[in-house]
Amino acid sequence: MSGSALPIEPHLTRFGETSEAPSVALDHLDTLWFQVTGTICNLKCTHCFISCSPHNHTFEFLSLEDVESWLTRSADWGVKEFYFTGGEPFMHVDLPRMLELALERGPASVLTNGTLLPARSLDPIARAAERSSYSLEIRVSIDGPSAETNDPIRGEGTFERAMEGVAKLLAAGFLPIVTATQVWAPEVDEEVRQAFVARLRDVGYENPRLKILPSLRIGREALRDRGYDEYEHVTAEMLEDYDERQLLCASSRVITNRGVYVCPILIESETARLGDTLEEAAVPYRLDKPACYTCWLHGAICSNYGGIGRDVG
Amino acid sequence: MSADVHRIAVFGGVYSNHLALAAAITDARERGAQELYCLGDFGAFGPNPDKVFPLLVDADVKAMRGNYDDSIARGLDDCQCGYTDPRDNYFARLSYRYTYRKTSDRWRTWMGELPARLTLDRHGVRVLFCHGSPRQMNEFLWESATSTQFLTYLGREYEADVILGTHTGIHWQRRLPSGGVFANVGVLGRPANDGRTDVWYALVDIATASGGQPQTRVEFVPVAYDHERLAAEMREENLPAEFIETITTGWWTTCLEVLPAKERARGRF
């Protein structure tokens, strides 16, 4: 091609066809997410898609009373499970009580960086998990099987601290799901996976549960690696013969201190805020963000059983 | 058993385990089951898939289609289990290709014509038979990962008092606040990851109680069968040692990633 490239409108595909971003209806509210510590985190990872840090107060903590109230309301919606994320959920002093309440109603998952697992939180959480007939999943984010690969992303010393966290969780009776963002070349997936398994066995995790996530090219990650290409967005044609239930927005909503949002990835986008109540938020969502492309490609990556390797075709 | 009790036997995934299926049919009849149901996934895992179908037909088992049968009948590339772990995917593909190759056209057509759901209305009790869940054939409903409020929603949405499914491989049941029941009937194909070689099915009694209110009771039944013979057949067919180990030890060795924490912790791997 010669000459300067024409600017491509977001609703145009690479080949120039016009294609409006399609909408996805909420099929059923299976999963209720809690942005329990907002965008506040003890770490400042270079690939964070919502740019969390100790000082990012875009979203604040949820109160125990708020979480309890949303959990009660979840019954009318037949919610199947609850996810707690942030920021770093273990920064919230009421996390143990929140999880205890959630586990009275259904299964729960916590997404943590594993570097803050004080006994005063972990012990009551372990007791609540033991008492409940529902599973409590703890997902620990570690982005490489060594300090050399993980620490440049997550911060100095975080690999050792997170591995200590994994050991603490094992001792408390959990089988954590180690969750890694694919910050390496896809060709070395298997090598990285095996290195992870070896390191986790070193700390006593004999049959580790490992989940590999694609990176989301927004927030800080857009600066660390790259943002989305112009062609990387969802078109109406791409949803033909596609099971929409693979997309998080077909089955989830996220509670924040600023209202109900469509999904935990897009909370920094104003159009992702759907209202103050679940009723208001039960509307179709237009897949007009490039990050929707990643979700489309891999299927509900944020849930415990999604990730790279799944065939969503 | 009193005359106003309707007893049915409900089998989950068979996974080509024709020996367990034959034993379960005999056992269910001895226990007075008036009707036999099978919730799909006839093939996978075990040897010689074609041996299963004549047993189902001869015993007049009311059969429906599972995700495996749906894939085989439609000639899809995989079993629609949605694994992401490369090891799980490796074994799932191996098993799927073997089953696909060994299922004759006649039975592929037969399973493709089966319904995806069945219903039964007896003594005013509405029973819904499904494979994974009423809404999605390949949805995993594990005991520790399925809230009661979600099951209540399913009962309301699909107008059923009793919902029976399979797909996960581990049996469990829960009485709902509405008075209804959800039960995962388990599978005949492989043991329940509990260290014993038996496989499981469900006997469901539907009765009118003295006050006129319908009552449903679900009982899980272990089935002992000649698992050593099945293991020998699997060896003859060059099926993976990992599969045979599950049959002879009762512990799952593959496709573990979809297990929630509690179910995973109960197994060996």
A259: domain CATH number is: 3.20.20.70
Shortest Cα distance, chain A CAs vs residue B148, angstroms:
7
Domain-located, residue A308? no
Question: In total, how many domains does chain A have?
Answer: 1
- In this predicted structure, the answer to whether residue A313 has a pLDDT above a threshold of 60 is no
In whole angstroms, give the CA distance from residue A214 to residue A61.
27
Residue range A275-288, pLDDT digits in tens = 999 999 999 999 99
DSSP A73-92: HHHHHT--EEEEESS-GGG-
Read off the amino acid at residue A26: L
- In this predicted structure, the answer to whether residue A51 has a pLDDT above a threshold of 50 is yes
Instruction: Give residues 1 to 60 of A whose Cβ lies within 8 Å of B.
Output: 28, 30
Instruction: Name the pairing type of β-strands B172-175 and B199-208.
Output: unpaired
- In this predicted structure, the answer to whether residue A88 has a pLDDT above a threshold of 60 is yes
| Average pLDDT of the residues of chain B | 95
Instruction: Give residues 204 to 243 of A whose Cβ lies within 8 Å of B.
Output: 207, 209-212
Closest-approach residue (CA) in chain A for B151: A78
Is the entire prediction scored with pTM above 0.90? yes
**What band does B208 get if pLDDT is binned at 50, 70 and 90?**
confident
Mean pLDDT computed over B130-150:
97
B202: domain CATH number is: 3.60.21.10
Please give the pLDDT value at position A13.
44
**What band does B134 get if pLDDT is binned at 50, 70 and 90?**
very high
Question: In total, how many domains does chain B have?
Answer: 1
- A250: nearest Cα among A303, A184, A205, A179: A303
> CB under 8 Å to B1, separation ≥6 — which residues?
B7, B32, B205
In whole angstroms, give the CA distance from residue A157 to residue A154.
9
- In this predicted structure, the answer to whether residue A162 has a pLDDT above a threshold of 90 is yes
ipTM above 0.90, yes or no: yes
Please give the pLDDT value at position A310.
61
Q: Exposure of A157 by Cβ count < 10 A (0-12 exposed, 13-18 middle, 19+ buried)?
A: exposed
Question: CB–CB of A107 and B147 under 8 A?
Answer: yes
In whole angstroms, give the CA distance from residue A43 to residue A52.
8
- A169: nearest Cα among B85, B265, B268, B193: B265
**What band does A96 get if pLDDT is binned at 50, 70 and 90?**
very high
- In this predicted structure, the answer to whether residue A311 has a pLDDT above a threshold of 60 is no
Please give the pLDDT value at position A19.
57
Residue range A257-277, pLDDT digits in tens = 999 999 999 999 999 999 999
Alpha-carbon torsion (A34, A39, A41, A46), positive or negative:
positive
- In this predicted structure, the answer to whether residue A312 has a pLDDT above a threshold of 70 is no
Please give the pLDDT value at position B4.
86
**What band does A302 get if pLDDT is binned at 50, 70 and 90?**
confident
Please give the pLDDT value at position B219.
98
Q: Flag whether residue B146 sits within 8 Å of chain A, measured between CB atoms.
A: yes
Which of B89, B153, B170 best probes binding to A when mutated, by most A CB atoms within 10 angstroms?
B153
A132 touches A104 (CB < 8 A): yes
Shortest Cα distance, chain B CAs vs residue A294, angstroms:
16
Residues of B within 8 A of A80 (CB-CB) are 145-147, 149-150
> CB under 8 Å to B247, separation ≥6 — which residues?
B46, B190, B191, B197, B227, B230, B231, B234
Higher pLDDT, A311 or A72: A72
Residue range A190-237, pLDDT digits in tens = 999 999 999 999 999 999 999 999 888 888 888 888 899 988 889 999
Span of A5-9, A117-121, A202-206, B107-111 with lowest mean pLDDT? A5-9
In whole angstroms, give the CA distance from residue A291 to residue A269.
11
Domain-located, residue A8? no
Instruction: Name the pairing type of β-strands B125-129 and B162-165.
Output: parallel
> Order of strands across the sheet with A31-35?
A209-213, A177-181, A136-141, A108-112, A81-85, A31-35, A252-256, A259-261, A273-275
- Indicate the residue of A78, A212, A311 with minimum beta-carbon distance to B149: A78
- In this predicted structure, the answer to whether residue A249 has a pLDDT above a threshold of 60 is yes
- In this predicted structure, the answer to whether residue A2 has a pLDDT above a threshold of 60 is no
| Average pLDDT of the residues of chain A | 91
The tally of CA atoms less than 13 A away on the side-chain side of residue A119 is 1
Please give the pLDDT value at position A228.
92
Domain-located, residue A13? no
Query: Partners of A260 in the beta sheet?
Result: A255, A275
Domain-located, residue A2? no
Cα A272 to Cα A23, A28, A195, A287, B210: the distances in Å are: 13, 18, 38, 10, 55
Residues of A within 8 A of B136 (CB-CB) are 245
Residue numbers of the domain that contains B54: 5-266
**What band does A85 get if pLDDT is binned at 50, 70 and 90?**
very high
Please give the pLDDT value at position A215.
86
* % of chain A with per-residue pLDDT over 70: 92
- Indicate the residue of B84, B147, B153 with minimum beta-carbon distance to A309: B84
Shortest Cα distance, chain A CAs vs residue B249, angstroms:
18
Mean pLDDT computed over A107-112:
98
Mean pLDDT computed over B61-87:
92
Please give the pLDDT value at position A161.
98
Closest-approach residue (CA) in chain A for B268: A207
Read off the amino acid at residue A277: T
* Alpha-carbon B120 to chain mean position: 18
Residue numbers of the domain that contains A185: 25-298
- In this predicted structure, the answer to whether residue A10 has a pLDDT above a threshold of 50 is no
Residue range B169-198, pLDDT digits in tens = 999 999 999 999 999 999 999 999 999 999
Domain-located, residue A203? yes
- In this predicted structure, the answer to whether residue A14 has a pLDDT above a threshold of 70 is no
DSSP A234-277: --GGGGTT--GGGSGGGTEEEEETTEEES-TTSTTSGGGEEESS
- In this predicted structure, the answer to whether residue A16 has a pLDDT above a threshold of 50 is no
Please give the pLDDT value at position A66.
98
Domain-located, residue A147? yes
In whole angstroms, give the CA distance from residue A84 to residue A256.
11
Q: Exposure of A224 by Cβ count < 10 A (0-12 exposed, 13-18 middle, 19+ buried)?
A: middle
Mean pLDDT computed over B70-83:
90
In whole angstroms, give the CA distance from residue A115 to residue A167.
11
Question: CB–CB of B261 and A137 under 8 A?
Answer: yes
Euclidean distance between the first and the last CA atom of chain A, given in angstroms as a whole number: 32
Q: Flag whether residue B136 sits within 8 Å of chain A, measured between CB atoms.
A: yes
Mean pLDDT computed over B24-51:
98
The helix (H) or strand (E) run that includes residue A206 is none
Please give the pLDDT value at position A15.
44
